[in-house]
Structure 1
Amino acid sequence: MKAQKLSIDKLTTERLILVPFTTKICEDILKDDFGGLLAMGLKKGKGWPYPDVIETLPRIIDNLSKVEEPTGFESWMIIKNDTFEIIGDAGFKGYNDDEKNIDIGYGISKEERRKGYAEEAVTELIRWAFSTGIISEITARCLLENTNSINFLKKLSFIETKQDAEMMHWSLSQKRPLQVIKR
């Protein structure tokens, strides 16, 4: 089964709103044009967009070019629901129909790190992805020395599957229960 057009316009959690990137949003950010985001009622959070976001936008545009409209298996903006500030991004690098899996990534501006936002956003995206019924596995990668990401992925029940010279590779199966966030 192929990924279908996203039938929702956002996901919400206790503190966050997740809104999918569109090609236009990505192209505008690359041109340093935030008028479209402002028209949506969104604001640039402190430190956003940070260099990793700018570097990732062309890949997001490429992923979006492979589908007619966002499916949800692309990238999402992370927005604080009390201030409507964009503080990061999380999402997937496209749906692999043959393997029934997706690879997840995430990032939060330095000013907003260590507040649980990445965990809240990624947990919601994992729940949503498995709820579609077409995903059996979510994969992730992180640098060998990135102890924060290693601990984060372990906390979310990801299992290390292999290592290469630079990266650790992780897997979360739908059969393995996701850890519930305790605040």
Structure 2
Amino acid sequence: MSTQSIYTDRLILVPFILEVTNTLLAGDTSILLKLGLQLTPFWPDQEAIDTFPKIIKNLELVQEPTGFESYMVVHRESMTVIGDAGFKGLPNADGEVDIGYAIIAQAQNRGYGLEAAKGLTNWAFQQPGVKAITARCLLENAPSARVLIKLGMQQVTTTEEFIRWKMFNPNLQPSISN
């Protein structure tokens, strides 16, 4: 299953592929120009660079991107990358996928994180076998928690470090047992 970009009102979520991610990790952003994107001094930021090895590891597990990996969050008007978002792999045995997102500091507090997360959840809930989406955020990360609440997620558990969140696929009817 090859994956396509996901379009929202203001964003395009462009799937990472191994070649692009490896090149970015090596410090060469010129590969973005080949994708029709504009360079910005703000991305990749350190958070994105720290995430690249995890993205590469997930991409190496599949023949080609499935959609359940990571995406570059591209601002449609400027065609610059303003963050990354995506899933941490294929659905697990319970039909759950874990979502994550990060928007560069220069583009925060404008609703881009929520818009990217909505685009991803809408896509995921249309895929066979996806029953729920999970997330976790640091206890002190109030902006991320606000995004997850606006997305419709419910807190599941809290540890000293993280809050775990979950939302069920609204397209699935709950099974009624007699």
Q: TM-score, normalised by structure 1?
A: 0.89
1:122 aligns with 117
1:82 aligns with 2:71: no
Cα offsets for 1:111-138 (capped at 9, x unmatched): 0111111111110110000011221010
The one of 92, 103, 109 equivalent to 2:104 is 109
Q: Contact (CA 8 Å) 1:157, 1:176: kept in 2 or not? A: no
The one of 5, 14, 17 equivalent to 1:19 is 14
Does the residue aligned with 1:94 lie in a helix, a strand or coil? coil
Task: Compute the displacement of 1:45 (Å).
Answer: 3.2
1:137 aligns with 132
Does the residue aligned with 1:76 lie in a helix, a strand or coil? strand
| Cα separation, 2, equivalents of 1:129 and 1:74 | 11
Give me the CA root mean square deviation.
1.5
2:2 aligns with 6
1:159 aligns with 154
- Percent of pairs identical after alignment? 40
1:59 aligns with 2:37: no
Q: Contact (CA 8 Å) 1:46, 1:111: kept in 2 or not? A: no
Does the residue aligned with 1:6 lie in a helix, a strand or coil? coil
1:72 aligns with 2:56: no
Give the residue type in structure 2 aligned to 1:158.
Answer: M
| Cα separation, 2, equivalents of 1:99 and 1:114 | 33
Q: Is the deviation greater in 66-75 or in 146-155?
A: 146-155
Give the residue type in structure 2 aligned to 1:93.
Answer: K
Give the residue type in structure 2 aligned to 1:19.
Answer: V
> Superposed, which structure 2 residues align to 1:35-54 within 5 Å?
35-54=30-49
| Cα separation, 2, equivalents of 1:148 and 1:83 | 24
Q: TM-score, normalised by structure 2?
A: 0.92
Does the residue aligned with 2:152 lie in a helix, a strand or coil? coil
Structure 2 runs not aligned, ≥5 long: 173-178
Task: Compute the displacement of 1:53 (Å).
Answer: 0.5
Task: Compute the displacement of 1:6 (Å).
Answer: 2.6
Q: Is the deviation greater in 36-45 or in 141-150?
A: 36-45
Give the residue type in structure 2 aligned to 1:6.
Answer: S
